[in-house]
Amino acid sequence: MTTDQSDWFAAIDLGSNSFHLLVVHHREGRLQVRDRHREMVRLAAGLDTDGHLSEDSQTRALACLSRFGERIRNLPRHNVRIVGTNALRRARNSADFVARAEALLGREIEIISGREEARLIFSGVCYGLEDDEERRLVVDIGGGSTELILGYRARPRLTESLHMGCVTMSQAHFEGGGISKARMRQARMAAMQELEPIEAIFRDFAWDSVVGASGTILAIADILAAEGWSQEGISADGVARLARAMIEAGHTDRLTLEGLSEERRAVFPGGVAILQAVMQSLGLEKIQVSSGALREGLVIDLLGRFEHNDIRNDSIRSLAERFHVDEAHAARVKRMALRLFDCVVDEFGEQALTLRNILGWAAQVHEIGLDIAHTQYHKHGGYLLSHMDLPGFSQAEQRRVSLLVRAHRRKFPAQEFSLLEANERQVLSKLTCILRLAVLLHRGRTEAVTAPVSLDIGASGFVLKFLSDWLDHHPLTRLDLEQECAFLVDAGINLEICNGSVEEAAK
């Protein structure tokens, strides 16, 4: 790599079956892949009956990540995205594993929702295909989930993430490696049962082509081509012949299919059963394959953020429009919140840019709850944000925005904050105070008055400074601030209101 690495980007996909690393160089609008690495970790196989990741599975995963860490160590912090999918969504002790992994990598790991995973997969698949006018159905069979996405160009219109993958299906129906006609039928029927609620919805949408992604589908395509059972992709007849050949073998140890790797044997029957079910349920006769997948989608998404085309901004704007937010007022509150944040930006270190974004998004939608009811609208808004799928957002980012909206007025929800890890609680408490002050200073909902104010964070708490006589001319604001001080005291936060110099108040 060159000394200047600002044009180098990396994505790590912590899948339920395999971990993937992709490193690219972005030059003159083009992406050049410079490194790929995959290791089959089988994280989902390490989930016990109580939903906890075993120590052995964590050890395998961390060993893999230590090797990945060598590839990304010198890349700029914001040029790397690492995401966890189904296995980490399901694991009850995922927070413990993520903390260990983040300490090892020195980077933040995002757990993304199933629909966000589907959106990113669609983006990655479409990037590797010709940008034409086709409407595409994309199928991705992972270790713990199966994603179905229907869209136009790189814009998904319909996304679903189903709770079945090659690892989980193989564990449930092919325990011990045995393969029989009855087991294959049971697995296929279980998959079709999972597909049943969304089958009619997808069939109602027309598509021009079907594209398959992920290791399972690529492996099936390779085997069908090597055996001469299907050419140029995957056919329904070819998959049926593959299933019969597996039943004849009777056990994963006796599978001698050309192109089937040793490491994939144990989880292959479940993947084949799922693909058969998808093709049967949706009436698919042919599937073309693509090497693009989640990690490519991550890189595309990451580049969008650098090029001021962040999908998260679009999600927030759409949400505000959907819930009829007063756009002008939200913009006023956002400007004030960011102004106050910039006064104390040094308090947030390397996280400053990320936290500034979180604060801005929360300010834009802090009033979405008003579309439900005025009474306790902050609670309605927090609830909505915590139960939505917001494209582009990780679960942690969405949780942060939700909590800020929930806490932006009235009694400070100290109990909810007490459930956070200590450092996260401290950071979000500061952001919440900034948002509360921004909302309060624009309670009059007018541009007529912009408070000449600055903010400091001292040893004892926040210090809000006004131009010497400004508060004397705005008694309602003074009263609001006095009440706010009382609210924050109950949460253990000290807010001091004082007069400052003209320079301090105007900065």
- Residue 151 shares a structural domain with residue 259: yes
CB neighbour list of residue 210: distance below 8 Å, 6 or more residues apart: 136, 137, 138, 139, 284, 286, 287, 288
Residue in 365, 354, 487 with CA at minimum distance from that of residue 431: 354
Residue in 168, 180, 391 with CA at minimum distance from that of residue 267: 168
304 located within any domain: no
CB neighbour list of residue 467: distance below 8 Å, 6 or more residues apart: 452, 453, 499, 500, 502, 505, 506
303 located within any domain: no
CATH of the domain at 156: 3.30.420.150
277 located within any domain: yes
- Residue 458 shares a structural domain with residue 498: yes
Taking 70 as the pLDDT cut, the residues of the chain under it are: 1-4, 131-132, 447-449, 500-507
- Residue 329 shares a structural domain with residue 287: no
Q: How far apart are CA 405 and CA 368, in angstroms?
A: 9
State the Cα angle at 257 between 252 and 258, rounded to 5°.
Answer: 140
- Residue 327 shares a structural domain with residue 242: no
- Residue 64 shares a structural domain with residue 126: no
CATH of the domain at 57: 3.30.420.40
CB neighbour list of residue 266: distance below 8 Å, 6 or more residues apart: 170, 177, 252
Write down the pLDDT at residue 1. Answer: 43
β-strands 30-40, 135-141 pairing:
unpaired
Which residue, 91, 111, 131, sits at the end of a domain? 111
Q: How far apart are CA 43 and CA 468, in angstroms?
A: 60
CB neighbour list of residue 252: distance below 8 Å, 6 or more residues apart: 174, 177, 179, 265, 266, 268, 269
- Residue 329 shares a structural domain with residue 289: no
What are phi and psi for residue 413, nearest 5 degrees? -75, 70
DSSP state of 178: B
- Residue 123 shares a structural domain with residue 102: no
Which residue, 94, 111, 128, sits at the end of a domain? 111
What are phi and psi for residue 337, nearest 5 degrees? -60, -45
Q: Which residue carries 């192109």 as its tokens?
A: 259
180 located within any domain: yes
Q: How far apart are CA 336 and CA 464, in angstroms?
A: 13
3 located within any domain: no
- Residue 82 shares a structural domain with residue 203: no
457 located within any domain: yes
- Residue 129 shares a structural domain with residue 258: yes
Residue in 83, 202, 196, 200 with CA at minimum distance from that of residue 150: 202
- Residue 86 shares a structural domain with residue 202: no
First-residue to last-residue Cα distance in the chain? 41
Q: How far apart are CA 344 and CA 359, in angstroms?
A: 13
How many domains does the chain divide into? 3
- Residue 220 shares a structural domain with residue 322: no
Number of other CB atoms surrounding residue 108 within 10 Å:
16
101 located within any domain: yes
Write down the pLDDT at residue 506. Answer: 46
CATH of the domain at 339: 1.10.3210.10
β-strands 286-289, 234-235 pairing:
antiparallel
Q: How far apart are CA 47 and CA 85, in angstroms?
A: 14
- Residue 45 shares a structural domain with residue 99: yes
3 state SS of 321: helix
CA distances from 471 to 409, 410, 457, 468 (A): 21, 21, 20, 8
Domain coverage including residue 67: 8-111
Write the pLDDT tens digit of every residue in 45-70. 999 999 999 999 999 999 999 999 99
Which residue, 87, 111, 135, sits at the end of a domain? 111
144 located within any domain: yes
Q: Are 174 and 252 in contact (CB under 8 A)?
A: yes
Write the pLDDT tens digit of every residue in 419-465. 999 999 999 999 999 999 999 999 988 765 577 899 998 777 899 99
